[in-house]
Amino acid sequence: MENPRILVPTDLSDLSLIAFESANYLADVLDGTILPLHVYQPEKESGSFPVTPKSTRQISELEKELESKVLEYADEDNVEPVVVRKGKPWKIIVEESEDADLVVMTSHGRSGFSRLFLGSVTERVVRFSKAPVLLLEKDSKIKPLSDILLTTDFSDNSLEAFDYARAIVKKTYAQIHLVHLVNLSQFDKVSAFDDQIAAKQERLDAWVQEHLEDIRDKVTAEALPVKSSIHEAIVHLTSQKKYSLVVMSTLGHSGLKYLRLGSTAANVLRLVKTAVLSINPKMDDPIGKEHDVL
């Protein structure tokens, strides 16, 4: 992820605008640029959104307002010309993501809902974006990047997240905590569980050697026992240690159709307070008619 083009959608609310601060940091670190995007809906669909522009002049004024607000959070040298488009926000964002390397956005905007209730726009962008999505909350701080939680279930899908974590680590002083979580409930005997943990740890160490060898000195790998569900364990880890970022694939072994986020990924996105970089292994797939019913 060198010289990334970072797409930042905003509805011009204070909550959505904070994404530009993190995007600016990543643009500095990764030698990237920021593409600000505002999507306005047709008047009959706009609801609580700002007044729908009705003329070229009004659109020009909206572009100037967007540029002014963006430059309160980002350096001018990092920012590309702003884009204002009309349509369904999630569809336009997904379209624009085709020419982006990363999408940075907050989990909610004017609606004010917490991440626990992911907005329809946010959830659809995470599902269908053609680029990885960095999801932020009001108090998410990725600057400076220090500790990154990277998760794997040993699936090819989960491996998709490794390259992005590596790219960030190579450009920063961040360290990776790579974890594989093993649920205790699947074992009847303690001895069987101990053997399984040892085997998983050996496999995890082999994965580090195979897939993260070039940054091995910056990786700590652990196979950890958990009594709760996997997503609850990840939430617990992020509450115990102040990670700058969680990096994970939205799909794992289950291979659930990406119209539905894998249950672990969906719950992590809703429940953790930390910034989450989600990578959809199916992001190169075309958006077909079945998506239009959403």
Number of Cβ within a 10 Å radius of residue 190: 9
Q: Please state, in angstroms and rounded to a whole number, the distance separating the CA atoms of residues 223 and 281.
A: 23
Q: Please state, in angstroms and rounded to a whole number, the distance separating the CA atoms of residues 173 and 170.
A: 8
Residue 49 confidence (pLDDT)? 46
Q: What is the pLDDT of residues 229-252, one digit of tens each?
A: 888 889 899 999 889 999 998 875
Q: Identify the H or E element spanning 161.
A: helix 156-171
Confidence of residue 257 (pLDDT cuts 50, 70, 90): very low
Q: What is the pTM of this model?
A: 0.85
Q: Please state, in angstroms and rounded to a whole number, the distance separating the CA atoms of residues 23 and 9.
A: 11
Confidence of residue 280 (pLDDT cuts 50, 70, 90): confident
Confidence of residue 176 (pLDDT cuts 50, 70, 90): very high
Average pLDDT over residues 14-26: 93
Angstrom CA distances, 253 to 67, 128, 262, stand at: 43, 19, 9
Map out the domains of the chain as residue ranges.
Answer: 5-141, 147-271
Domain covering 147-271: architecture: 3-Layer(aba) Sandwich (3.40)
With a pLDDT cut of 70, the percent of the chain lying above it is 81
Beta bridge partners of 149: 177, 246
Matching CATH topology for 5-141 and 147-271?
yes
Give the CATH superfamily of 5-141.
HUPs (3.40.50.620)
Residue 243 confidence (pLDDT)? 93
Confidence of residue 116 (pLDDT cuts 50, 70, 90): very low
pLDDT over 70 (residue 17): yes
In the predicted model, what is the mean pLDDT of the chain?
Answer: 83
pLDDT over 70 (residue 44): no
